[in-house]
Structure 1
Amino acid sequence: MPIDAFVTGAVETALNQLVKDDVDSQRRLSRLRGKVISVILNEFGKTLYFIFSQQIDVLAVYEGDVDCQLALNLTALPELRQQANVTQLIKADKLSLEGDLQLAQHFSSLLSGLKPDIEEKLSHYSGDVIAHTVVSGVKSSGQFIQQRLLKRQRNLAQTLTEEWKLFPQPLEIAYFADQVDDLRSDVACFEARLNQLLER
């Protein structure tokens, strides 16, 4: 249980600090006041309860009724920050929703507005130049790693399809599908002719 208290406390503190720093987020929070949303993280089987008032309370256990229940994987969490993605996530079975869809969209809107200015926070401790250098370095490193991962993924796909021949290439799949369609139409024609001959 101590780990749950640590996680909920960290999430609660971070969210409230971000809301406090942004006037628009405070306005978005007012639309959720008095509501309770539960978020189930499928990978962990854990539920976080978000209780909205003048601030956001995050609990691991809640005895009352919830206004909206969301169940999703951690990989879908970044997409939840885009309000327009809520219905797309539901259609793609990446998000399960019980309750008020509009409430889920308000929650998504609140999350999308929470954009921490890490450089600004870091500059209080280290100065503007060092903060800018560190944040720029982390961003460029992240982009470099992402590009390397995409390149590795492309290389692996190419190796599996062309060198090891484990998976067929897209043109081979299309050709096979065309052959299946031709065979299906030939069988249908043969069946029709056979039925005509049997009727005579």
Structure 2
Amino acid sequence: MPFEPLVTAVIESSLNTLIHDDPELERRLARLKGQVIQVHLKELNKTLTFIFSQQIDVLANYEGEPDCYLSLHLSVLPELREQANITRLIKQDKLVLEGDIQLAQKFSQLMTDCKPDLEEWLSRVTGDVVAHGLVQGVKNVGAALHARISKHQNHLGQVLTEEWRVAPAALEIAHFCDQVDDVKSQAARVEARLAKLLERV
């Protein structure tokens, strides 16, 4: 199977599964029925076309004219929820938008709210108690890893500043900044005195 159809099939089936699991997302999908949105992803230099009906069809190649065309980085997509952001993003060259702005906002809301509920999915296979225990266990392991990484980063920072003296300590940086400020204020006072002397001469 070629790569592009495989990618579009995965995106399509994932989105449709997530939407059909949530009645609120299904209502939002119904409001987009009959619309076509084309999204050019700058990271991949690829264009995907989203066709809305009872489900979402995702195509890599589309010959027709879309109702809305977007060219953006994926990180920009959540910002389209607010209309004020759209104008700013266009001015900053982070977004190219042709067509219906409100359609772009509805699409952004739908895409950013399509988040999987792992606990719900697991509960269908394992039951509620086991699913809850597994998800909590993964969260606890993640929190422990994050704490350990944070501790190692602090330790490395102390080794670099205190033992190896490769980087200056925070107090040394603050003292240096204070000294720079003192020199700047002294220079400003000297400059003011010189200006007064020049006026007298």
Same fold (TM over 0.5): yes
- Partners of 2:36 and 2:49 within 8 A in 1: no
CA distance in 1, matches of 2:18, 2:132: 20
Q: In the alignment, residue 72 of structure 1 is paired with which amino acid?
A: H
- Partners of 1:82 and 1:112 within 8 A in 2: no
- Partners of 1:32 and 1:52 within 8 A in 2: yes
Aligned to 1:173: 173
CA distance in 1, matches of 2:114, 2:124: 20
1:41-65 Cα shifts (integer Å, max 9, x gaps): 52x4444443333322223344545
Q: In the alignment, residue 141 of structure 2 is paired with which amino acid?
A: S
Identity of aligned residues (%): 46
Mark the CA change 1:109 to 1:65 in structure 2 (over 3 Å): closer, same or farther.
closer
SS at match of 1:165: coil
Q: Please report how far the alpha carbon of residue 7 of structure 1 lies from its aligned counterpart in structure 2 after TM superposition.
A: 2.0
Mark the CA change 1:169 to 1:122 in structure 2 (over 3 Å): closer, same or farther.
same
What runs of 5+ residues in structure 1 fail to find an aligned partner? none
CA RMSD between the two structures: 3.7
Query: What aligned pairs does 1:1-200 form with structure 2 within 5 A after superposition?
Result: 2-33=2-33, 34-38=35-39, 40=41, 42=43, 44-63=44-63, 64-65=65-66, 67-72=68-73, 76=75, 80=78, 83=81, 87=85, 96-99=94-97, 102-199=102-199, 200=201
1:129-158 Cα shifts (integer Å, max 9, x gaps): 544443333333333333333333333333
CA distance in 1, matches of 2:153, 2:121: 35
Mark the CA change 1:180 to 1:51 in structure 2 (over 3 Å): closer, same or farther.
farther
Q: Please report how far the alpha carbon of residue 13 of structure 1 lies from its aligned counterpart in structure 2 after TM superposition.
A: 0.3
Q: What is the TM-score when the length of structure 1 is the normalising length?
A: 0.70
SS at match of 1:57: strand
What runs of 5+ residues in structure 2 fail to find an aligned partner? none
- Partners of 2:42 and 2:72 within 8 A in 1: yes
CA distance in 2, matches of 1:196, 1:20: 78
Mark the CA change 1:190 to 1:124 in structure 2 (over 3 Å): closer, same or farther.
closer
Q: What is the TM-score when the length of structure 2 is the normalising length?
A: 0.70
